[in-house]
C-alpha cells in the first residue's frame, strides 16, 4: 500500500474523529461557543492549549527554518517558548480572574470605553487573519503533496473541515477536538524523529541523538559532519550564527511578547473554572509543548544532513521518487544552468541550481530517510492536525470579536442569546472564506507569516494588557493611543519591508531600521506603544475609582468569577 493510500486512511480516520467530537460537543449557548461553558478540566485545557499553540508554524515550518538558518533559527525556539512562559506567569491567571470572553472584552471593560473595545477588535482581527493565513497555507502544502491536489484545492478542503467543527462546536467543540489533535500531532512528529535518530546515530532519543556520533563507526559527531557538508558547499557553518545580535534580540523579544498578546491563546484560559486551574493548565501545556520544541532542532539536523547527502552533486536522473513528487508542488525546483544533468546545490546564487522551500523539510524528511509509507502518511496527518487546531482557535477569536465585542457590546446591545450565537456562526463562515483567500495568497512561507502575526500582537495587545493589569493609573486615552501607534508602526514596516507595497522591488536588508527585520520590528513597535501610552496617560484624566478597584481585585490571586457577558 502506497503513501497516498496510507494518507487517505490516516487523514480520513483523524478527520472522522474531529468531526465526531464536534457533533458530540456542539455548542448550545454563547457561553459554550465562546468559552466552552467555563468548565474545562486543567488537563484537557492544557492539551487543547498545546495544540492551539503548536500551529503549522511549529510543526511544519520551525524545523524547516532551523534546517536552513542553523544557529540563527534558534530565535524561534527561544522566542516562542519563552513567550509561553511569560503568558503563563504574567497574564493567564489575571485575565481568568477578570472573567470575560475575549481579549477585546478585557480591553473594552478595563479601559471603560467602546472606542478602546473597537480598537481591540481591529487589532484582534489583524493578528488573527495574519496568523490564520500561515495555517491555511500549511494545510494546502500537505494536501498538495500527499493527496496530489494543487495547493489552492488543499486550502479549500481545509476550509470546509475547519468550518464544520468550528462553526458547529464553537469553543466547546474546538477544545475537545484539539485534545485529539494534540495526540495526533505529537505522535506524528515524534515517530519519524525517533526512527531517523536510530538510523543515523543509533540513539532512540532525538534530543540526544542529534548531538551524538554517527553509527557508521567513523566516530564523527553528526553536527560536525553537517558543519563540514555546509562549508563544503559554501554555506555558513550550521552551528554558527550570521544574524546581527540586535536582530536576534529583537526577533526573540517580539516573539515572546507577541505570544503573551495572542488572543486565541489567551482565550483558552477563560475556559477553566478557577484561577488555579488556569495556572495548572498553563503548566501542563508548557510540558506538552516542550516535547515538540526540544525535538525540532534534532529534526532540523536530520533533515538538512539527509537532504545535502541525497541531492548535492548527484545526477538529476537518479533522484528518488520523493524529489519528483515535491517538484510537482513547486516547493522544490531544479534549474540545470550548465545543462550537465547534475544538481549543483551551493551557496553561490549564480551557480546554485536547486531551490528548496523551508516548509517541505519536516514533511519530506521521512521520505528522504526512506522511512515506511505509513510513517510518511502519519506526518501528513500530524501536520493537518497542527494547522487545523490553530486555525479553529483563530477563527473563533475572529467570530467572537465580531459577534460579541462588535455586535453585542456596541451595535445591538439588546440582541438575544440565540441571535448572538447565529451572528457568531455567520462571522465564522465569513472568517473562513477570508482565511482561505490569505491561505491561497500568503505573504510568505508559513513561519514568516506567523512571525508577523506575533509582531502585530506585540505591537498592539501586550502593552495594553500588561498596563491594564499592573498599573491602575493607566487610562483609556493612553491605551487607545498606544495601540493605534503600535499597530500602525508595525503594519507600515511590514508592508514596506516584507510585502514591498511601497516600492517596485522589495527593499533589501541594508535598508532595515537599526538592522532589524520585519519579524523583529514588533519589539520596536511595542516600545513605541508603551511610550505613547504612558506619555498620553500623564496628560489625561485618571480612570474612575471603580475601574481602579477592578484592577486591584484582578491581582488578588484567590477565587474567580464565572465568565460573563
Residue 472 lies in a domain: yes
Average pLDDT, the chain: 81
pLDDT at 66 over 60: yes
The most confident of the ranges 122-131, 309-318, 385-394 is 309-318
**What average pLDDT does range 493-515 have in this prediction?**
70
- What whole-number distance in Å separates Cα of residue 300 and Cα of residue 197? 12
**What average pLDDT does range 220-233 have in this prediction?**
90
- What whole-number distance in Å separates Cα of residue 470 and Cα of residue 426? 36
Residue 561 lies in a domain: no
With contact defined as beta carbons under 8 Å apart, do 314 and 356 qualify?
no
Distance of CA 266 to the CA centre of its chain: 14
Residue 241 lies in a domain: yes
Q: How many domains are there within the chain?
A: 1
Domain with residue 325: its CATH number is 1.20.1730.10
Task: Label residue 27 by pLDDT band (50, 70, 90).
Answer: low
Residue 185 lies in a domain: yes
Residue 516 lies in a domain: yes
| DSSP class per residue in 88-106 | IIIIHHHHHHHT-SSHHHH
Residue 224 lies in a domain: yes
Task: Label residue 443 by pLDDT band (50, 70, 90).
Answer: low
C-alpha cell at 466: 500588561
**What average pLDDT does range 207-231 have in this prediction?**
89
pTM: 0.81
Task: Label residue 557 by pLDDT band (50, 70, 90).
Answer: low
Task: Label residue 196 by pLDDT band (50, 70, 90).
Answer: very high
pLDDT, tens digit, for every residue of 316-371?
A: 888 888 888 888 877 788 888 888 889 888 888 888 888 888 878 888 889 888 89
Q: In Å, what is the CA distance from 261 to each residue of 92, 403, 520? A: 10, 21, 15
- Residue range(s) defining the domain that contains residue 273: 3-554
**What average pLDDT does range 502-515 have in this prediction?**
67
Residue 269 lies in a domain: yes
Q: What is the DSSP letter of 268?
A: G
Residue 559 lies in a domain: no
- Based on its alpha-carbon atoms, the radius of gyration of the chain, rounded to whole angstroms, reads 23
Buried/exposed 127-163: b ≥16 CB within 10 Å, e otherwise: bbbbbbbbbbbbbbbbbbbbeeeebeebbbbbbebbb
Amino acid at each position: 500500500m502506497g503513501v497516498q493510500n496510507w494518507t487517505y486512511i490516516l487523514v480520513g480516520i483523524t478527520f472522522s474523529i474531529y468531526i465526531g467530537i464536534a457533533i458530540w460537543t456542539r455548542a448550545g449557548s454563547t457561553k459554550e461557543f465562546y468559552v466552552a461553558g467555563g468548565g474545562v478540566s486543567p488537563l484537557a485545557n492544557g492539551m487543547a492549549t498545546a495544540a492551539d499553540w503548536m500551529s503549522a508554524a511549529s510543526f511544519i515550518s520551525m524545523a524547516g527554518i532551523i534546517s536552513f538558518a542553523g544557529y540563527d533559527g534558534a530565535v524561534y525556539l527561544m522566542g516562542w517558548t519563552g513567550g509561553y512562559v511569560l503568558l503563563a506567569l504574567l497574564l493567564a491567571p489575571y485575565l481568568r480572574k477578570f472573567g470575560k470572553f475575549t481579549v477585546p472584552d478585557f480591553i473594552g471593560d478595563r479601559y471603560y470605553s467602546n472606542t478602546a473595545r473597537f480598537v481591540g477588535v481591529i487589532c484582534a482581527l489583524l493578528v488573527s487573519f495574519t496568523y490564520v493565513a500561515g495555517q491555511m497555507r500549511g494545510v494546502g502544502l500537505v494536501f498538495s503533496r500527499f493527496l496530489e491536489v494543487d495547493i489552492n484545492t488543499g486550502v479549500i478542503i481545509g476550509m470546509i473541515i475547519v468550518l464544520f467543527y468550528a462553526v458547529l462546536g464553537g469553543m466547546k467543540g474546538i477544545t475537545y477536538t484539539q485534545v485529539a489533535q494534540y495526540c495526533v500531532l505529537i505522535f506524528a512528529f515524534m515517530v519519524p524523529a525517533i526512527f531517523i535518530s536510530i538510523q543515523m546515530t543509533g540513539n532512540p532519543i532525538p534530543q540526544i541523538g542529534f548531538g551524538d556520533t554517527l553509527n557508521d563507526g567513523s566516530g564523527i559527531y553528526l553536527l560536525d559532519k553537517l558543519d563540514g557538508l555546509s562549508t563544503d558547499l559554501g554555506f555558513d557553518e550550521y552551528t554558527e550564527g550570521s544574524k546581527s545580535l540586535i536582530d536576534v534580540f529583537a526577533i526573540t523579544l517580539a516573539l515572546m511578547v507577541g505570544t503573551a498578546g495572542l488572543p486565541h491563546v489567551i482565550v483558552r484560559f477563560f475556559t477553566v473554572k478557577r484561577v488555579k486551574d488556569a495556572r495548572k493548565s498553563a503548566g501542563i501545556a508548557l510540558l506538552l509543548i516542550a516535547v515538540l520544541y526540544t525535538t525540532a532542532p534534532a529534526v532540523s539536523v536530520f533533515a538538512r544532513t539527509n537532504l545535502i547527502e541525497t541531492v548535492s552533486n548527484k545526477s538529476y536522473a537518479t533522484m528518488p521518487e520523493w524529489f519528483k513528487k515535491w517538484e510537482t508542488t513547486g516547493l522544490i525546483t531544479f534549474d540545470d544552468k550548465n545543462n550537465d544533468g547534475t544538481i549543483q546545490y551551493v551557496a553561490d546564487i549564480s551557480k546554485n541550481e536547486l531551490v528548496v522551500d523551508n516548509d517541505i523539510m519536516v514533511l519530506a524528511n521521512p521520505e528522504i530517510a526512506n522511512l515506511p509509507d505509513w510513517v510518511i502518511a502519519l506526518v501528513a496527518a500530524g501536520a493537518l492536525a497542527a494547522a487545523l487546531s490553530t486555525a479553529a482557535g483563530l477563527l473563533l477569536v475572529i467570530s467572537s470579536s465580531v459577534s460579541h465585542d462588535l455586535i453585542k457590546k456596541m451595535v445591538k446591545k439588546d440582541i438575544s442569546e440565540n441571535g448572538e450565537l447565529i451572528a457568531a456562526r455567520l462571522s465564522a463562515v465569513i472568517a473562513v472564506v477570508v482565511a482561505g483567500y490569505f491561505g491561497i495568497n500568503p505573504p510568505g512561507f508559513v513561519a514568516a507569516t506567523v512571525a508577523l502575526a506575533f509582531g502585530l500582537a506585540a505591537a498592539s495587545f501586550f502593552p495594553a494588557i500588561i498596563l491594564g493589569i499592573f498599573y491602575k493609573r493607566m487610562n483609556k486615552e493612553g491605551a487607545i493611543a498606544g495601540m493605534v501607534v503600535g499597530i500602525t508602526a508595525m503594519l507600515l514596516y511590514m508592508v514596506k519591508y516584507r510585502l514591498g507595497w511601497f516600492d517596485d522591488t522589495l527593499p533589501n536588508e541594508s535598508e532595515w531600521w537599526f538592522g532589524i527585520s520585519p519579524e523583529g520590528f514588533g519589539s520596536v513597535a511595542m516600545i513605541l506603544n508603551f511610550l505613547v501610552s504612558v506619555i498620553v496617560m500623564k496628560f489625561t484624566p485618571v480612570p474612575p475609582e471603580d475601574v481602579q478597584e477592578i484592577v486591584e481585585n484582578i491581582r488578588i490571586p484567590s477565587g474567580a468569577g464565572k465568565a460573563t457577558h
